[in-house]
Amino acid sequence: MEFSSTNAEDPFLSMDFAGPLDTPPEHTQVSVDNVEREDVVVRDEDFYYENAIFLVEGSLFKVPRMHFIQESEILREMFLLPPPDSSVIDGLTDEQPLRLDHIFKEDFRQLLRVFYPQNLRREPDLNLEQWTSVLKLADMWDMDNVRELSISKMTPLLESKPAHQIALARRFHVDEWLLPAFKRLVYRNDPVDELDADELGMRSALKVAAIRETFKSGYYQEWNLDSGRGEIPWGASEDTLTDRLREKFGQIFNQL
């Protein structure tokens, strides 16, 4: 195939393109004398990312450090702190990475999945355990936005696991989980068992069991000094249950 032009003064347009496009004929020369060159090359203020190399449990991770700086004041100070004179900065080479001691590799990997999704068409598809890893690091490094995202994703996944939700709420200071989870634990048909005790601790499990005894069979059993014990329909006892939980568990509910 041959392309031609009526503009005989332009050698490029009259070239023979019979060969591959990326290997022009040897006799063809394209002049670039008339191409303007920029005297100053600058880095774009928005889209010039610096990478960081992390060492976590024997594995190296090389990723843009942008999200770590944006989301965590703790890590931002670490990255932006000027290094001592004549010292090599950690995190620039495989030989001298930024070590993250006491961090699990799988936890860190899940956080990176949130920061750098491999599929732009959908959000990261993480399960409850993986989102817990993200919440763990977000709580550790004061990443408020990541923490809120983790909580919103985990809440529906914990709907059928009230004891586990309470344990996570205590561990990561998610106060808004506590009261709904305790109520579901009281409401459910299954009794408090050993797994619940493992999650809550024995004392808390016994307190929940005691509250359940007064709310069993769909009725709240209330002792009336004048007429003896009376039964109040379950739907009318929401406030009473909240008060009982506050009474039994004290300080953790006083601020809710």
**Structure confidence by residue, pLDDT tens digits, 85-140:** 757 788 999 999 999 999 999 999 999 999 999 887 778 899 999 999 999 999 99
pLDDT at position 242 = 76
Q: Higher confidence at residue 36 or residue 190?
A: 190
Helix (H) / strand (E) element for 239: namely helix 238-249
For residue range 218-236, what is the model confidence (pLDDT) as tens digits? 554 444 444 444 444 444 4
pLDDT at 216: 62
> Are 122 and 192 in a shared domain?
no
Question: Does 182 map to a domain?
Answer: yes
The SS3 assignment for 62 reads strand
Question: Mean pLDDT of all residues in the chain?
Answer: 80
The alpha carbon dihedral of 221, 224, 230, 236 has a sign of negative
Strand partners, 54: 61, 98
Distance of alpha carbon 150 from alpha carbon 144, whole angstroms:
10
Domains of the chain: total:
2
26 pLDDT above the threshold of 60: no
Provide the sign of the torsion angle of the four alpha carbons 193, 195, 197, 200, taken in this order. Answer: negative
Percentages helix, strand, coil for the chain (3-state, rounded to 5) are 45, 10, 45
Using the 3D structure, point to which of 156, 188, 215 is the last residue of a domain: 156
Query: Where in the sequence is the domain holding 139, given as residue range(s)?
Result: 49-156
Q: Say if CB 239 and CB 222 are below 8 A apart.
A: no
Radius of gyration of the chain (CA): 32
Is residue 66 domain-shared with residue 117, that is, in the same domain? yes
Q: Of 111, 139, 156, which residue constitutes the final position of a domain?
A: 156
Query: Do 164 and 141 fall into the same domain?
Result: no
User: Which H or E run includes 146?
Assistant: helix 144-157
Token pair in block for residue 117: 């999704």
Residues 81 and 169 in one domain: no
Regarding whether 178 and 150 lie in a shared domain, the answer is no
Look at residue 83 in the predicted model and tell me its pLDDT: 73
pLDDT at 245: 80
Please tell me the distance from the alpha carbon of residue 100 to that of residue 245, in angstroms, as a whole number. 40
Share of the chain above pLDDT 70, in %: 73
Nearest-angstrom CA–CA distance, 148 and 152: 6
